[in-house]
Structure 1
Amino acid sequence: MSEPHNLPSYTKAQLALRNGQDKPQIWVAYLGLIYDVTKSRLWREGKHYEHWAGQDLTDELKDAPHTEKVFDRFTVIGRLVN
């Protein structure tokens, strides 16, 4: 997975606002990168099965029925910072 350069940085608090409820954007983070999943029908209203948007899903992926390759279909829009 190649990482784009010069990405804007977002805090966990900023990511949390992109949950499909507080703002129209639906974002999730994985391994320090933030992905825009707004257009995915699987993330409507900010929920995908038991996962909520606006969060870092790195630790949750181990329980998913798919691999990290699922993120390849989404646009990286930023980096998650502490």
Structure 2
Amino acid sequence: MDNLPLYTKQQLALRNGQDKPEIWVALKGVIYDVTESRLWRNGKHYEHWAGQDLTEELFDAPHTETVFEKFEAVGKLFV
């Protein structure tokens, strides 16, 4: 995972399912492609929006971060 490309928050924000066809979210500095997930259609998952860092929002989720293991890591968030 060390060789993943770096993306800025602005680049991540474009992968929101609206501006570009990709649907990406970040968690703990890693960006995941959730485009194929039926739960992220149109870039929205319940009250969460794609193209963002969801690390802080995970605390309120009914699941743990292991749910991201089924998605491909496509980059790292440059902060």
Q: Which 5+ residue runs of structure 1 have no aligned equivalent?
A: none
Q: Which 5+ residue runs of structure 2 have no aligned equivalent?
A: none
Structure holding more helix per residue:
2
**SS class of match (2:15):** coil
Aligned length: 79
**SS class of match (2:56):** coil
CA-based RMSD: 0.4
In structure 1, the residue matched to 2:26 is 29
Output the CA distance in 2 between the equivalents of 1:73 and 1:63.
Answer: 20
Which residue of 6, 14, 21 corresponds with 1:9? 6
Q: TM-score, normalised by structure 1?
A: 0.95
Q: Which consecutive aligned stretches of 4+ in structure 1 deviate over 6 angstroms post-superposition?
A: none
Tell me whether 1:40 sits opposite 2:40 in the alignment: no
Question: Residue deviations 1:1-22, cap 9 Å, x none?
Answer: xxx1310000000000000000
Which residue of 37, 44, 53 corresponds with 1:56? 53
**SS class of match (2:41):** helix
Percent identity of equivalent pairs = 73
Q: Which amino acid aligns with 2:19?
A: D
Q: TM-score, normalised by structure 2?
A: 0.98
